[in-house]
Amino acid sequence: MRISAAQAGRNRQQVLDTASERFRERGFDGVGVSDRMKSAGFTPGGLPHPFAPKDALAAEALAQAWAQMAAERARARNLEQLLAGYLSRTSRDAPGSSCPAAALGGDVGRRSAEIKNVFAAGLEEMITSVERLLPPSDDGATRTRAMTVVNGMVGALMLSRAVPDDSPLADELLASGLRAALAAAAD
């Protein structure tokens, strides 16, 4: 049975949404075609042709994840609000709907140039958005400060996820990361 172009577009977006979430939850190698299709409510044979190569889907899903995070950063009234949300238990416990840098940073280094390029573009936009929230510095080091803040944000969230959920260390890492990022922003 043929489906309309509009339905095909909705189906494609549903697969993309699901892939974006699953890749962040499980990593690129932790999600197979059948997992992506089943999670999106389709049979494995129903994978849309434009997604046949896994790297193409991964790159597009990664770009979508970065776009979602850009929208969240845009809603932050200031850097403190952005950091408090990013370095929270809620963010820590939801890798599928939070920052792709913290969820996939270690995995991207083993991927294709296409995926690395998408990752780099999203990371660059993240740095730029943090830079816009910082007061300008007299010495022109605002970008360096923004990069230091982003490094701290991502690192603290990644490390917090790497320890057991019930470990006090998980919360300590988030709190320490928040303090360090705020201090770096103020320098």
Q: What is the per-residue DSSP string for 22-69?
A: HHHHH-GGG--HHHHHHHHT--GGG--GGG-SHHHHHHHHHHHHHHHH
**pLDDT for res 121:** 98
So what's the pLDDT on residue 51? 52
Which domain, by its residues, includes 148? Answer: 53-186
How many other CB atoms are found less than 10 A from the CB of residue 125?
Answer: 15
Residue 155 — very low, low, confident or very high, per pLDDT cuts 50/70/90?
very high
State pLDDT tens for residues 48-92: 445 556 788 899 999 999 999 999 999 999 999 999 999 999 999
Residue 20, in any domain of the structure: no
What's the CATH code of the domain at 154?
A: 1.10.357.10
pLDDT at position 49, please? 47
pTM check: above 0.85? no
Asked if pLDDT for residue 27 goes beyond 90, the answer is no
36 within a domain of the structure (yes/no): no
Q: What is the pLDDT of residue 130?
A: 97
Task: Kindly state the percentage of the chain with pLDDT values over 90.
Answer: 63
CA 136 to chain centre: 26
Residue 129 falls within a domain, yes or no?
A: yes
Return the structure tokens found at 131.
């830079």
Q: Per the domain annotation, does 46 fall within a domain?
A: no
Question: What value does the mean pLDDT of the chain take?
Answer: 86
Establish if 21 belongs to a structural domain.
Answer: no
Whether 159 and 178 have beta carbons less than 8 Å apart is answered as: no
pLDDT of residue 40: 46
Domain count of the fold of the chain: 1
